[in-house]
Amino acid sequence: MTTPAAFNAGEPSIIGGGGGSITLVDGSTFCLSDSVGDIEQSTSHGLFYRDARVVSRWELRIDGHRPEPLSVLSPEAFTARFILRRPPRAGAADSTLLVMRERLVAGGLRETITLENLGREPTAVALDLRADADFVDLFAVKEGRAGHGRSEILVTDNELLLNDRSDSARGLAISSSEPPVVLPGSLSWRIVVPAGGRWQTEILAQPTLANQRVHAPLRPGERYESSEPGRKIEAWRDTATKLTAGDPVLTAVLQRTESDLGALQIHNDSHDGRTFVAAGAPWFMTLFGRDSLLTAWMALPLDVSLALGTMQQLAEMQGQRVDPLTEEEPGRIMHEIRRGPASGQVLGGETYYGTVDATPLFVMLLAETRRWGAPRDAVAALLPAADAALDWMSHFGDRDGDGFVEYQRATDRGLINQGWKDSFDGINDVAGRLAEAPIALCEVQGYVYAALRARAELAEEFGHAELATRFLDRAAKLQAAFAETFWIPERGWYAVALDGRKRRVDALTSNVGHCLWSGIATDEHAAQLVRRLSTPEMDCGFGVRTLASNMGAFNPMSYHNGSVWPHDTAITVAGLLRYRHIPGAIELATRLADGLLDAAAAFGGRLPELFCGFDRTRFPAPVPYPTSCSPQAWASAAPLLLVRSFLGLDPDVPRRTLTVLPHLPQRWGRVELTELRLGGSAIDLSVDGERVTASNLPEDWQLLTH
């Protein structure tokens, strides 16, 4: 996931803090620190608010020394407790001063520092917090272009005030419950902690806009469970489906999925608390067209309202005019929105539209959300946006009228590649040569095919039979043209793309798995794809590689040319199970899912954005990609797609049917979904082997298990 120009340089991020970084996130606010809790200068760490770094230095010193780390506990994605100790003094056998930093992120930062004297005599402590802010744009930090601080420092009796010299609208106020000595760049306390006693202070770092404190939902002394983020996550859990499995690894991963998706939600209070999901921490805490839509699709078994809110938000921002700077076009769904200091300096606005796949994904999700129970009137209100999206595909998307949707950036500032593999070198051929624009991606044609069928389904429900027939005819023609044009018979796979000269870009990539997921692949082609995806060149043992290991550009440590992306593997698994009648499809899907869950266990139950594509026979644990986002929305949601796919779970609320065709991996054991909300009904579903039980299913519903 990359972004262009002022939004990003089209490259994966470089985190200066190295290994052991701790990311806390609540909505669009996030904090990145080291394992001591420090935010050190000249790193990519910081507290970020509205896409700007509002804290660039936050270093705790005990008697002039850095505390020694003991442990970090993070019960929720928005809070952490850093357990530290004072370094042993010269001549002392050990330390007797326990230091705890309890941090909560929510529209700002609250940190409670506790000193506990475990010794037999009082101890004197010099406690210093060194703080600064540079107010640098998010992506200047991400790319290592942050430079030096630009803050104006004001000192009052009780507060340290920092203001952006280049933009007086931004600032930061730092205060403490225990009065400190405030100097430019630091807060200091001189303390005597009695034997067996404790000392505590609560520090609040609160962003300001136009010299006004932003509302920071951080009340003094409040435990994280009862804080606003805590209440928000509990409300999410109360409404979300409960998923459990006999396999403790899968259950733990699903619990982490629920927690992370809750923390990544952004609430739009101007629309009755409408929620949508941010793409991922630390660098993509904003609405992304493609990422947010795919995450919402995967999260449907948890909550339908997340998908509905995401589409409503995207529809409001749908393209209305032609603007080469932002690549806005009528009907186009945006790529991302940014509000940092540099967001409008190069591309002329906060919203960038340079994506080719978000627009068909929007139409696909609208029909799918209706099947999962979104209100009919809410879906009807979004039909004009869906039709505008389809019109974009036919005109602006299909630049040359050949029936395929392609992309080419409008200026030299936009993304070169505009599919999900959007790094500059993400699309290449067998020899490793880069494709030249305009580029028509194979998976995008699949999305368009699925979008046409989705719109036909909606047309049928809303009583437009003739319109439904027209969309189905268009889909059938696209499928036939795709099979003829993209299939490479001598290789046995689809070309990843057609280049600007309509030549097949012939590398074997994971993109073909998306062609299975969308249903555009013929059975004959699907059978050969199953065999190709089963090879060790594609299956590394922990998931599907983005590029086969025998391709010219293969690099297991690359961003898109040989790495493993969990969401990509989950989509491939879903595609394989769509073609479950093909020999070997279920077996390969099971092997890929097993590998992905083993990877999740190795990463502590949280799947990262991506990891290196080394073979499992070489390294028995997945090798981390050093700059991977975590938590990352579609990686967090990927296990939900695995569960849904192996359950064969396919509800159809308008037609009052619930289809469950299970092919569960043996290690999963019994899988249960409690309070699965479908329309106005809450259903309890359990699957044990081939046995399916659905409780609370309304009498007028039909359960289909064959």
**Do 185 and 278 have their domain in common?**
no
**Do 205 and 347 have their domain in common?**
no
Evaluate whether residue 561 is within a structural domain.
yes
What is the model's pLDDT at position 21? 83
What is the model's pLDDT at position 345? 46
Alpha-carbon dihedral of residues 203, 208, 214, 219, nearest 10 degrees?
Answer: 10
Q: What kind and span of H or E run contains 45? A: none
**Do 223 and 301 have their domain in common?**
no
**Total structural domains in the chain?**
2
Evaluate whether residue 704 is within a structural domain.
no
What is the model's pLDDT at position 651? 97
Query: Which of the listed residues 206, 231, 256 is the one where a domain comes to its end?
Result: 231
**Do 200 and 276 have their domain in common?**
no
**Do 221 and 251 have their domain in common?**
no
**Do 171 and 257 have their domain in common?**
no
What is the model's pLDDT at position 12? 40
- Cβ neighbours around 69 below 10 Å, total: 17
Residue whose structure tokens are 């020694």: 68
Short-list 400, 448, 431, 558, CA closest to 504? 431
What is the model's pLDDT at position 94? 85
What is the model's pLDDT at position 215? 67
**Do 505 and 389 have their domain in common?**
yes
**Do 547 and 476 have their domain in common?**
yes
The C-alpha atoms of residue 70 and residue 98 are separated, in whole angstroms, by 10
Evaluate whether residue 695 is within a structural domain.
no
The C-alpha atoms of residue 338 and residue 3 are separated, in whole angstroms, by 10
- Angstrom CA distances, 312 to 104, 276, 296, 333, 476, stand at 30, 9, 12, 11, 29
What is the model's pLDDT at position 347? 45
Short-list 225, 311, 309, CA closest to 274? 309
**Do 342 and 207 have their domain in common?**
no
What is the model's pLDDT at position 9? 34
Q: What residue type is 540 in one-letter code?
A: C
Instruction: Quote the Cα angle for 361-504-335, to 5°.
Output: 25
Q: What kind and span of H or E run contains 66? A: none
**Do 640 and 543 have their domain in common?**
yes
**Do 310 and 172 have their domain in common?**
no
What is the model's pLDDT at position 6? 40
Query: Which of the listed residues 210, 231, 252 is the one where a domain comes to its end?
Result: 231
Evaluate whether residue 550 is within a structural domain.
yes
What is the model's pLDDT at position 8? 40
pTM: 0.88
Angle between helices 633-647 and 248-263 (to 10 degrees): 130
Evaluate whether residue 285 is within a structural domain.
yes
Query: Which of the listed residues 231, 259, 282 is the one where a domain comes to its end?
Result: 231
Say if residues 246 and 670 touch (Cβ distance below 8 Å). Answer: yes
Q: What is the CATH number of the domain that holds 121?
A: 2.70.98.40
pLDDT averages per 10-residue partition of the chain, 706 residues? 45 40 85 94 88 92 96 89 91 86 92 96 96 86 65 80 78 93 94 97 89 69 77 84 95 92 76 71 77 96 94 96 96 85 52 96 98 97 98 96 97 94 97 97 98 98 97 98 98 98 98 98 98 98 98 97 98 98 98 97 93 97 88 93 98 97 96 94 94 94 93
The C-alpha atoms of residue 663 and residue 614 are separated, in whole angstroms, by 29
Evaluate whether residue 10 is within a structural domain.
no
Q: What kind and span of H or E run contains 71? A: strand 68-76
Evaluate whether residue 706 is within a structural domain.
no
- Structural domain of residue 305, as residue ranges? 240-581+588-688
**Do 186 and 261 have their domain in common?**
no
What is the model's pLDDT at position 350? 81
Evaluate whether residue 380 is within a structural domain.
yes
Short-list 575, 613, 617, CA closest to 596? 613
Q: What is the CATH number of the domain that holds 632?
A: 1.50.10.10
